[in-house]
Amino acid sequence: MDALDFFTFSWDRRVKLPRKIILAVPVKFLLFLGCLSMSLACASETSPQANNTEPANAEGPEIGFEIGALTLLGTDLRIFFRQPASPWIVGFRFLDIEDDFINEGAVGVPGDDSDREFTKRSGLYLDYLFDETGNESFYVSGAFYRTETRVVCSLGEGSDAASSLYFGGGFRKKWNEHLGYNIGLLLSPFVDLAVDANDCSSESEGDFDLNASLLFSF
């Protein structure tokens, strides 16, 4: 079996969706990375350089939260817990975003941007750090998420949901004791979502969870 046949993403274009839908999230993601770069520069000027050979927080457990790039479209939040100098991080992921798109060529007002796609994702994740004693580390990750997609179009709406295992990895860095960032990607070839909303539909075989977030710990 071809790998592309095993893990594919496709749209049932009974309504021809423009390229703006595909480009919207990447553009907003790049804007977030610009803000992230500015934060990094400010942190390097105002905070002393942390010793990379010492634990980020050796006195007690690390508890914190992350605010993700997709907050630009709704809510993108992760809450985590880590024992002192432990390579394991356990956390909870919550994503609730909305994206508007222009329904070209469909029944309704031309250029109407009232059509919307909603995505919700929540569940537990577990990260394993390759360098648990430093302030930066690559990691592997696994998660069990429930994902729900809902499409609202001119003549109706539809939704579908699925629960599945996700796996992947990323990179985590602490600038100081309380501030850092986290970038990761999780994939699931098992998710099968199909939404029929009369005048527009979507279908995906496989799913991904992209995380790019600012990290705050206590």
Tell me the fold of 3-217. Answer: Porin (2.40.160)
Render the burial of 180-198: b for 16+ CB within 10 Å, e for the rest.
Answer: bbbebebebbebebebbbb
Query: What value does the mean pLDDT take over residues 39-63?
Result: 54
Percent of the chain with pLDDT over 90: 38
Cβ neighbours, 10 Å, residue 7: 15
What whole-number distance in Å separates Cα of residue 157 and Cα of residue 28? 26
Residue percentage of the chain with pLDDT more than 70: 60
Mean pLDDT of 34-40: 54
What pLDDT was estimated at residue 138? Answer: 97
What is the CB-side half-sphere exposure of residue 155 using CA atoms within 13 A? 11
Look at 9 and 95; give whichever has higher pLDDT: 95
pLDDT tens figures, 186-196: 999 888 777 66
For residues 17 and 101, the answer to whether their CB atoms sit within 8 Å is: yes
Quick: pLDDT tens for 111-140.
455 677 788 999 999 999 999 988 999 999
Q: What is the mean pLDDT of residues 194-199?
A: 66
Q: Are the C-beta atoms of 63 and 80 separated by less than 8 Å?
A: yes
Query: Given this model, what pLDDT does residue 66 score?
Result: 97
pTM score = 0.68
Comparison of pLDDT for 205 and 127, the residue scoring more: 127
Question: Taking residues 46-55, what's their average pLDDT?
Answer: 44
Give the residue-averaged pLDDT of 139-159.
Answer: 84
Q: What's residue 23's pLDDT?
A: 46
Going by pLDDT thresholds of 50, 70 and 90, the confidence category of residue 48 is very low
Asked if the model's pLDDT at residue 94 lies above 50, the reply is: yes
Q: Give the per-residue pLDDT at 60.
A: 81
Q: Is the pLDDT confidence value at 41 over 80?
A: no
Instruction: Give the residue, 108 or 96, on which the prediction is more confident.
Output: 96
> What pLDDT score was predicted for residue 159?
77
pLDDT of residue 19: 41
Q: Collect all residues with Cβ–Cβ distance below 8 Å to 137 and sequence separation of at least 6.
A: 129, 130, 131, 171, 172, 173
Q: Stretch 190-209: mean pLDDT, rounded?
A: 73
Residue with the bigger pLDDT between 201 and 37: it is 201
84 vs 4, higher pLDDT:
84
